[in-house]
């Protein structure tokens, strides 16, 4: 059976004067949200590589190293999230080449690893210790290194890595060390993020700057097909073809303090509670009362170009896709422009009829989601203007798009996206407002939207005060087997998002549906042990929602209602539990109604004893297919 490396992993490398093990372990802890099936380090000590790796969390690796220390001032490390193959010590990274002198860590998938492995076996290399594609790459680099001539061992390792990667079909972010080459490391990327951290008499490699921000805030974000050779006091970046390029050193916008949990028991709860600030930051400096519109200079489009847009396509995956579904309602309401929402994974593989006046937005918190990046590239390949909405200004999507909007949400560590979702909703509202004011949206309507947007952070703070009430509700339903989520219009996507949060961190069955679809089959699921959550604010379709709620109640289905305004009064005899959020204009209600669903999933997961920040089988971002 084919066995591949991980889908989304954490890589940390260090070359400096300090002991490598504590730095590598600290970096891995900060990246554990990227993978927590197994972990390992390879540290060069004198003329040999000390390897420590095991299945399990970083804590298991730390215990192993405490029992069997690994000394040395340079090395590589990895935390794995497996997509195929067993989670065991042998498949954990790093991996050796046949000589045991080269060690390698890898994020990505080598699609042609089987053919490469067969070629190596035919050449007499049969000493494979694992089932992974990563070990094949390590052996390939080692084989080529052994065949190259020359006294400059650093150049040999660089050239061997370059030659091996030219044979690879697939994606990779890698870090490589050799026991015979002191204080020297090689890294490369294609389709999987890799960043170089620049310190004083020390340099770092990592798949995310959060791993190294405690040591340096100077970073170089590598591009696809970049290869970097780094030592303590210098580095050189070249292409896979050997051309040396210039790369700017960027300042990381957040600090190590920003990625700490503080007094919160979980990152997820911390990030839910940050939403008043992140929503405020998403619109900071982007609203103008004088013109009653939004200012989004990052779109890199002139007013005539924006007025010429005849169709919008929003694409993303998971939570970002749900934000896009809200965006569809928002932009069509505010700007009267037809909008389509596409699964990024489907968009990139099908022939979507589009005109030259179509504007595409790729939505991704990380800016590295493989399917969304693929959709962006496909859109641009076909000549459509394609913009990004992401939370990492140095991400691949941010760099490859024609422009876009930065979320300013700060680091999001919890695997289940929360604050990034509401930031995306606000940004899509700003886009709708901007396009609408260039068309039929009046000054009065524009001012009403701005007033409502400005009020949102305070209203979010009011919603967050409901946490204890929602915790009590969660305790009532700790024994249920699942939940149904219903909403209409702007809140139908919130039903989808609420169900996704419930699935992600409680592992309960959960489905989201339009309320009106209840009679078209879903009502067959209604029963006393399966609660229905209705998102039913006091809006134009409240009476329709009330009708659906009556039908569920008649069949003895427990009802939890998220409502506002007069909704609470009309629901008091229908719903077993009512969660009341502040009144807001209907197109902004998703920003408020989603937060109780985030809290409900969180509190229920805690009651069930789930690992909230590291739910099973999930990683924060899917960076390969």
Task: With H, G, I as helix, E, B as strand and everything else as coil, classify residue 174.
Answer: strand
| DSSP-based helix, strand, coil % in the chain, nearest 5 | 40, 20, 40
- Delimit the domains of the chain by residue range: 10-258, 261-465, 466-625
Q: Is 148 helix (H, G, I), strand (E, B) or coil?
A: coil
Q: Say yes or no: do domains 10-258 and 466-625 share a fold.
A: no
Beta-strand runs (E) in 448-554: 482-487, 509-514, 532-535
pLDDT digits (tens, 9 = 90+) for 171-206: 899 999 999 999 999 999 998 889 999 999 999 999
* Catalytic entry in 101, 419, 614, 620: 620
pLDDT recorded at residue 192: 87
Please tell me the predicted confidence (pLDDT) of residue 268.
96
Q: How far apart are the first and last CA of the chain?
A: 18
For the beta carbon of residue 443, count every other beta carbon within 10 angstroms. 11
Give the pLDDT of residue 394: 81
The CATH superfamily of 10-258 is: Aminohydrolase, N-terminal nucleophile (Ntn) domain (3.60.20.10)
pLDDT tens digits, residue range 115-145? Answer: 999 999 999 998 899 989 999 999 999 999 9
This prediction has a pTM of 0.83
**Which is the catalytic residue, given 9, 273, 292, 317?**
9
Place of tokens 């700007």: 335
**Token code pair at residue 294:** 């939004």
Domain 466-625 has CATH 3.20.20.60: no
**317 catalytic per annotation:** no
Output the pLDDT for position 41: 96
| Catalytic site includes residue 620 | yes
Which residue matches tokens 């609408």?
436
Q: Judge whether 477 and 608 are in contact, CB under 8 Å.
A: no
List Cβ neighbours of 128 (8 Å cut-off, separation of 6 or more).
117, 135, 136, 139
Which H, E and C letters describe 27-83, residue by residue? HHHHCHHHCCCEEEEEEEECCEEEEEEEECCHHHHHHHHHHCCCCCCEEEEEEECEC
**Residue numbers of the chain with a pLDDT score lower than 70:** 1-8, 33-35, 82-85, 619-625
Report which secondary-structure segment, H or E, holds 108. none
Nearest to 391 by CA among 590, 238, 254: 254
CATH superfamily of the domain spanning 261-465: Glucose-6-phosphate isomerase like protein; domain 1 (3.40.50.10490)
How far apart, in whole angstroms, are the C-alpha atoms of residue 373 and residue 532? 36
Residues 357, 307: Cα–Cα separation, whole Å: 10
User: E strands within 138-295?
Assistant: 172-178, 185-190, 195-198, 203-206, 218-221, 226-230, 235-239, 250-251, 287-288, 293-294
């Amino acid at each position: 059976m084919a066995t591949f490396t991980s889908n989304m992993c954490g890589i940390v490398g260090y070359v400096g004067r300090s002991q490598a093990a504590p730095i590598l372990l600290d970096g891995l802890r900060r990246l554990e949200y990227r993978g927590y099936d197994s972990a390992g380090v390879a540290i060069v000590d004198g003329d040999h590589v000390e390897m420590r790796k095991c299945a399990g969390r970083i804590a298991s690796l730390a215990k192993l190293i405490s029992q069997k220390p690994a000394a040395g001032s340079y090395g590589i490390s990895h935390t794995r999230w497996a997509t195929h193959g067993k989670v065991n010590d042998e498949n954990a990274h790093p991996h050796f080449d046949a000589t045991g002198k080269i060690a390698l860590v890898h994020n990505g998938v080598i699609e042609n690893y089987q053919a490469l492995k067969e070629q190596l076996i035919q050449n007499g290399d049969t000493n494979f210790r694992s089932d992974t594609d990563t070990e094949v790459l390590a052996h390939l680099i080692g084989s080529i290194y052994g065949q190259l001539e020359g006294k400059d061992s650093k150049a040999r390792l660089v050239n061997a890595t370059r030659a091996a990667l030219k044979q690879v079909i697939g994606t990779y972010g890698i870090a490589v060390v050799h026991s015979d080459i002191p204080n020297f490391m090689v890294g490369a990327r294609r389709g999987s993020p890799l960043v170089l951290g620049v310190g004083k008499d020390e340099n770092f490699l990592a798949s995310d700057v959060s791993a190294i921000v405690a040591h340096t805030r100077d970073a170089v974000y590598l591009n696809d097909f970049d290869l970097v050779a780094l030592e303590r006091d210098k580095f050189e970046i070249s292409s896979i073809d050997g051309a040396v390029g210039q790369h700017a050193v960027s300042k990381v916008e957040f600090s190590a303090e920003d990625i700490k949990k503080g007094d919160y028991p979980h990152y997820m709860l911390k990030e839910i509670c940050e939403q008043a600030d992140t929503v405020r930051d998403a619109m900071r400096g982007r609203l103008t009362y004088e013109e009653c519109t939004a200012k989004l200079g990052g779109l890199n489009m002139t007013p005539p170009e924006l007025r010429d847009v005849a169709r919008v396509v929003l694409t993303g995956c998971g939570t970002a896709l749900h934000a896009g579904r809200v965006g569809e309602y928002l932009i069509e309401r505010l700007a009267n422009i037809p909008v389509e929402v596409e699964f990024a994974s489907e968009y990139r593989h099908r022939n979507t009829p589009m005109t030259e006046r179509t504007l595409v937005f790729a939505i991704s918190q990380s800016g590295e989601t493989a399917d969304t990046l693929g959709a962006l590239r496909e859109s641009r390949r076909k000549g459509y203007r394609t913009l990004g909405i992401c939370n990492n200004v140095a991400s691949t999507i941010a760099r490859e798009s024609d422009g876009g909007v930065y979320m300013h949400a700060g680091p999001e560590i919890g695997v289940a996206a929360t604050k990034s979702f509401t930031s995306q909703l606000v940004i899509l509202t700003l886009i709708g407002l901007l396009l609408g004011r260039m068309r039929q949206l009046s000054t009065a309507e524009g001012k009403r939207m701005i007033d409502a947007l400005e009020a949102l952070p305070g209203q979010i703070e009011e919603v967050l005060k409901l946490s204890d009430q929602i915790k009590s509700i969660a305790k009532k339903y700790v024994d249920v087997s699942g939940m149904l989520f219903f909403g209409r219009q702007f809140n139908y996507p919130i039903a989808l998002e609420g169900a996704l949060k419930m699935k992600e961190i409680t592992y309960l069955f959960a489905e989201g549906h339009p309320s009106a679809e209840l009679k078209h089959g879903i009502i067959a699921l209604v029963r006393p042990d399966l609660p229905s959550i209705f998102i039913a604010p006091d809006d134009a379709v409240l009476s329709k929602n009330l009708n659906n709620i009556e039908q569920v109640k008649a069949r003895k289905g427990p009802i939890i209602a998220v409502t506002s305004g007069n909704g609470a009064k009309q629901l008091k005899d229908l719903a077993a539990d009512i969660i009341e959020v502040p009144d807001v204009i209907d197109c902004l209600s998703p920003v408020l109604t989603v937060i109780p669903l985030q809290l409900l999933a969180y509190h229920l997961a805690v009651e069930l004893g789930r690992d909230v920040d590291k739910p099973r089988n999930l990683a924060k971002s899917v960076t390969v297919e």
